[in-house]
Amino acid sequence: MYCDHIMQEDQQLAAAAKENARKERMHRLQDHFNLYSIIPPRLKKAGFDNYKPANESQEKALNDCRRYAENFPKNLNEENDIGLLLHGMYGLGKSHLAVAIAKRVIELGSTYTKPDGTEGITVIFINLPELVTKIKATWRKDSDISESKILDMLKSCDLLIIDELGGAMNKQDEQGQSWLNDMLFQITDARQGRNTIYTSNPDPDELQQHVSKKIYERIFANIHILEFTGKSYRLNGTF
C-alpha cells in the first residue's frame, strides 16, 4: 500500500510538472504572438464560440475554419501546407474567424513538438494597413525593433494571418504601393511551403487589381477559398 501511495504521488507530481511545462510553453507562444501581431481592439475576444453565423456560407466558413485549426498540428507534422482565403464584404466575421484560428492553433501548439525537436507552433496575425504603420515606425532611431526583424518573423512563423489584403493598397500613393508590393512579395515568396491565411474584401478576381501578378500567383499556389455572404454584423450593431 505504501509503495502504491508513493507511486500515485509520483504520477501526480509528473502530471503537474507536465501541465506546468505546457502552461509555460503556452505563455511563451502567446508572448511571441502579442509581440509581433497587430490585431484591432474589437477582435481581442474573438473566438469560435462567440461567432454567430447568420447564413449557410458563414456556417460553412465556421466549420471549415474550426477544422483547419484542429488539423493544423497534423498538417504541420506532415508538411502539408494549405492556405486559406476568407473573402466577402466587410462586417461578416472574416477577421473574427481568422483570430479564432490563431488562438486555437497557439493552444494546440502548447503540447506540440516538431520533428526537429522544436516545441510549440508560432503564429502571427497582422492587419495589413496597420503593418504599414508599424514598419514605418521602425525607421525611427529610437525604435526597439527593426524592419528586418519584423519581416523575418513574418516569413518564418508556422502560421501567418494577413488581414485586409488589398485594402491597404488603395491607401498608398504610387510610391507607397510599389514599396508595399515589394514587401508583400518578399513575405509571400518566402512563405512558399508554409501555411498562410488571408482575409480580403475583394474577391479572388478583384484581388488581381490590388496586388502584383507575382504576389497573386504565390497567394493562390495552394489555397482553399471561403466566401462570406450576408449583411454586415456591424450594421446590425451585434458584432
Q: Is residue 218 part of a domain?
A: yes
Q: Is residue 180 part of a domain?
A: yes
What is the SS3 assignment for 163? Answer: strand
Rounded CA-CA distance 120/25 in Å is: 7
Q: Is residue 6 part of a domain?
A: no
Q: Is residue 69 part of a domain?
A: yes
Q: Is residue 95 part of a domain?
A: yes
Cα–Cα distances in angstroms (integers) from residue 84 to residues 1, 55, 76, 198, in the given order: 56, 20, 15, 6
Q: Is residue 211 part of a domain?
A: yes
Residue with C-alpha cell 487589381? 209
Predicted confidence at residue 239, as pLDDT, reads: 35
**How many CB atoms lie under 10 A from the CB of residue 65?**
24
The x, y and z cell numbers of residue 37, run together, are 501581431
Q: What is the CATH number of the domain that holds 224?
A: 3.40.50.300
Against a cut of 0.75, is the pTM above it?
yes
Closest Cα partner for 193 from 164, 155, 225, 165? 155
Q: Is residue 5 part of a domain?
A: no
Predicted confidence at residue 237, as pLDDT, reads: 44
pLDDT tens string for the chain (239 positions)?
Answer: 556 656 565 555 555 555 555 556 555 656 666 677 878 888 989 999 999 999 999 999 999 999 999 999 999 888 888 899 999 998 899 999 999 999 999 999 888 888 888 888 999 999 888 888 888 888 888 887 888 888 998 999 999 999 999 765 555 555 556 778 888 999 999 999 999 999 999 999 999 888 889 999 999 988 999 999 988 765 454 43
| Residue 176 structural domain | 12-236
Give the count of domains, the chain.
Answer: 1
